[in-house]
């Protein structure tokens, strides 16, 4: 079934709000000075139409981040170059206050009138409309939690630029992706080889 527009009564439907983890991960290009990129570009999955609010894309762990950045490419070739890795860094965020997100997993998808196409579809215009409508929901909070479509057992967190998210989020640590301690084990898990 293809992704459809949010139901007309979405604002009256119950939302399941869950706390975002106290530690979140993101991969960013080293050339970017500000680790907080609240996307208003309208070209990413949950970016709002017309840039009405910003979205910071994060994940539960480094493995999920790697899948988001490289997963599509790994479907064709099981390689990643050291040169490319040196241009990226891992950002590890800490939350110092509660950030509540809409749970878009499990039965909550069905109760909201959709299915896994919400995080697997490539029709970003429809997904962005869902994001806008969820942000405008009377119970809306600080973002959404959704399955990675590259490994549905993993979770991503798209945080909206609310006061709670912006004030509570801090960079605890950053390091070159090539130096990340977990990188070799993750590449082995997905049978991806490093090249020069």
The answer for 55, left when phi > 0, alpha when psi is -120 to 50, beta otherwise, is: beta
Looking from the CA of 100 toward its CB, the CA atoms found within 13 Å total 9
Query: Is residue 194, in this structure, part of any structural domain at all?
Result: no
Query: Is residue 38, in this structure, part of any structural domain at all?
Result: yes
Q: Which domain holds residue 109?
A: 16-68+88-177
Query: Is residue 4, in this structure, part of any structural domain at all?
Result: no
Tokens representing 12 are: 């009256």
Q: What pLDDT is recorded for position 142?
A: 93
Residue 79 pairs in a beta bridge with 193
> What domain count does the chain have?
1
- In the predicted model, residues of the chain with pLDDT beneath 50 are none
Q: What pLDDT is recorded for position 63?
A: 98
CA dihedral over 60, 61, 64, 69, signed as positive or negative = positive
pTM, full prediction: 0.93
Query: Is residue 170, in this structure, part of any structural domain at all?
Result: yes
3-class DSSP state for residue 190?
coil
Query: Is residue 110, in this structure, part of any structural domain at all?
Result: yes
Q: What pLDDT is recorded for position 35?
A: 77
Closest CA relative to residue 141, chosen from 155, 158, 156: 158
Model pLDDT for residues 37-94, shown as the tens digit of each residue: 888 877 788 987 776 789 999 999 999 999 999 999 999 999 999 999 999 999 999 9
Query: Is residue 74, in this structure, part of any structural domain at all?
Result: no
Residue 192 DSSP code? -
Query: Is residue 97, in this structure, part of any structural domain at all?
Result: yes
Query: Is residue 11, in this structure, part of any structural domain at all?
Result: no
Q: What pLDDT is recorded for position 146?
A: 96
């Amino acid at each position: 079934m293809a992704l459809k527009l949010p139901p007309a009564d979405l604002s009256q439907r119950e939302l399941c709000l869950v706390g975002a983890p106290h530690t979140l991960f993101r991969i960013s290009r080293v050339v970017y000075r500000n680790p907080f990129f609240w996307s208003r570009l309208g070209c990413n999955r949950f970016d709002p139409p017309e840039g009405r609010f910003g979205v910071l894309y994060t994940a539960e762990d480094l493995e999920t981040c790697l899948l988001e950045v490289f997963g599509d490419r790994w479907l064709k070739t099981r390689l990643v170059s050291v040169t490319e890795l040196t241009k990226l860094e891992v950002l590890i965020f800490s939350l110092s206050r509660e950030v509540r997100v809409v749970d878009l997993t499990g039965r909550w998808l069905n109760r909201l009138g959709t299915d896994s196409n919400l995080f697997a579809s490539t029709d970003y215009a429809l997904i962005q409309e869902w994001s806008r409508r969820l942000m405008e929901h009377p119970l809306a909070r600080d973002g959404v939690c959704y399955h990675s479509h590259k490994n549905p057992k993993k979770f991503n967190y798209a945080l909206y630029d609310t006061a709670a998210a912006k004030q509570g989020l801090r960079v605890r640590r950053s390091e070159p992706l090539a130096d990340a301690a977990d990188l070799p084990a993750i590449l082995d898990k997905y049978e991806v080889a490093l090249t020069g």
